[in-house]
Amino acid sequence: MREKLSGIVSGVDFLNHSFIQQPFPVYAKLRENEPVHRLLLPSGHYAWMVSRYEDAVKILQDGRFVTSPPHQGQMGEKQPPHMEIISNNLLSVGPEDHQRLRRLVQKAFTPRMIEKLRGRIEQVSEGLLDKVLASDKRDIDLIEEYAFPLPIIVICEMLGVPLEDQDKFRIWSNTIMEGVSNPQLSHKMDEVMKSFVEYLQQLIADRRKHLKEDLISDLISVEEQGDKLTEHELYALVFVLIIAGHETTVNLIGNGILAFLEHPEQKRLLMEKPDLIQSAVEEVLRFNGPAEVSNIRWAIEDVDFYDNMIQKGDMMLVALSSANRDSMQFDEPDTFDITRKVNNHIAFGKGVHYCLGAPLARLEGEIAINDLFRRLPDIRLNTDPLLLEWRPGMIIRGLKRLPIAF
């Protein structure tokens, strides 16, 4: 029988403000002293966290660790109906269902299909920057006026979701992302999820009557062909695509611009050689990527992992941000270098759950960053870096606001 741990193991509180502001020194200590770390989640459940790159890749690719609980009720009481509707989504179902659902949507997210969106993404980016420059202001919140609207416009158009509802998505998404690891937000999250599901039900009902040339219409057509896609799976897929379809890119753009502003020599280099943008985006993803940790895995059998007995049903977390700063994998990992030659980061995960939207996020990031520096070459941070506020929670890594001047 295991010893009962009190509080956060080793004094690491992953929801503490100081940790959220600057997690990397803590991760460095974990990699050195406690690379397989047992922690108490705010939910009251225990989980294991791996922080080294090699271990992270093993967990993400090991079929003994799955994204769906080993048995019903693993996480507690039965969920309310609106939560059940979207709980069995692409990120949390078992291997067979995951492969089936992924096949239904992956054609829309292949690099070839995403490349066809380049022109439209450039139009959106230029339009947002035109609006910024047309204003009398010479200071803005980059998240509010550029990093958020760009990907939300793109994913809304892909799905066929009314763009006027984008503000709702932002509120819903923020609450959901922050509430996943914060029980204090459970009541608020429950209300938001109910509203979100009701919105999806109405949207999909309307689309059934009037199919269009968009991804939701394509998914409805697939669902109506038979048992390849159930109604609840349809809701869950659209839910994940809306949330994940913009969250990753918002944080990629925001974190990336901040990295450049804090490393002006790298900003100058990119402006002189904009063809470095692809390696620049990869370095942003490694240096301060949009996802803090992976989604939860569960052990489906007992596993002896570096002398730690991981028991069947145990939860596992992979600290992606930590793994991407591992000195055993990357030379000078705390250095932001857009010319880095070897950069096998895992910002988008690894294995069968590798991020479906990675090609879209990369392209949006490349266009957004290059366009911004071309149109606003004198951009600078408009606050003390220590005063920047990061979004709470253990899942995402992103800024609430990014004040800049130009």
**Which tens digits make up the pLDDT trace of 144-203?**
999 999 999 999 999 998 888 988 888 888 888 777 666 666 677 788 888 988 999 999
pLDDT tens-digit readout, 7-61: 344 568 888 889 999 999 999 999 999 999 999 887 788 999 999 999 999 999 9
Q: Is the pLDDT score of 83 beyond 70?
A: no
Q: Is the pLDDT score of 244 beyond 90?
A: no
More confident residue, 364 or 242: 364
Gap between the terminal Cα atoms of the chain: 60
Q: Do the Cβ atoms of 258 and 364 come closer than 8 Å?
A: no
Q: How far is CA 349 from the centre of its chain?
A: 10
| Average model confidence (pLDDT) across the chain | 88
Q: Is the pLDDT score of 75 beyond 70?
A: no
Lowest-confidence pick of 62-71, 122-131, 384-393: 62-71
What pLDDT is attached to residue 331?
Answer: 97
Q: CATH second-level architecture of 9-405?
A: Orthogonal Bundle (1.10)
Burial 176-195 (b: 16+ CB within 10 A, else e): bbbbbbbeebeeebbebbee
More confident residue, 302 or 230: 302
Q: Do the Cβ atoms of 220 and 207 come closer than 8 Å?
A: yes
Confidence of residue 71 (pLDDT cuts 50, 70, 90): low
Instruction: Give the type of residue at 71.
Output: H
What pLDDT is attached to residue 3?
Answer: 36
What pLDDT is attached to residue 225?
Answer: 59
Spatial distance between the Cα atoms of 167 and 184, rounded to a whole number of angstroms? 23
Inter-residue long-range contacts of 227-233, CB under 8 Å, 24+ positions, other chains counted:
228/100, 228/104, 229/101, 229/104, 232/84, 232/85, 232/86, 232/88, 233/88, 233/101
What pLDDT is attached to residue 232?
Answer: 83
Question: Which residues fall within 8 angstroms of residue 103, CB to CB, at 6 or more apart?
Answer: none
In this prediction the pTM is: 0.90
More confident residue, 1 or 400: 400
Q: Percentage of residues in the chain with pLDDT exceeding 90?
A: 62
Question: Which residues fall within 8 angstroms of residue 348, CB to CB, at 6 or more apart?
Answer: 285, 291, 354, 355, 358, 361
Q: Do the Cβ atoms of 391 and 400 come closer than 8 Å?
A: yes
Q: Do the Cβ atoms of 65 and 297 come closer than 8 Å?
A: yes
What pLDDT is attached to residue 171?
Answer: 85
More confident residue, 327 or 7: 327
Lowest-confidence pick of 38-42, 89-93, 352-356: 89-93
- Where are the chain's structural domains? 9-405
Confidence of residue 86 (pLDDT cuts 50, 70, 90): low
Over residues 342-367, mean pLDDT:
95
pLDDT tens-digit readout, 250-294: 999 999 999 999 999 999 999 999 999 999 999 999 999 999 999
What are residue 46's DSSP bridge partners? 40
Spatial distance between the Cα atoms of 325 and 187, rounded to a whole number of angstroms? 36
Q: Do the Cβ atoms of 369 and 256 come closer than 8 Å?
A: yes
Confidence of residue 81 (pLDDT cuts 50, 70, 90): low
What pLDDT is attached to residue 374?
Answer: 98
Confidence of residue 379 (pLDDT cuts 50, 70, 90): very high
Q: Is the pLDDT score of 76 beyond 50?
A: no
More confident residue, 305 or 154: 154
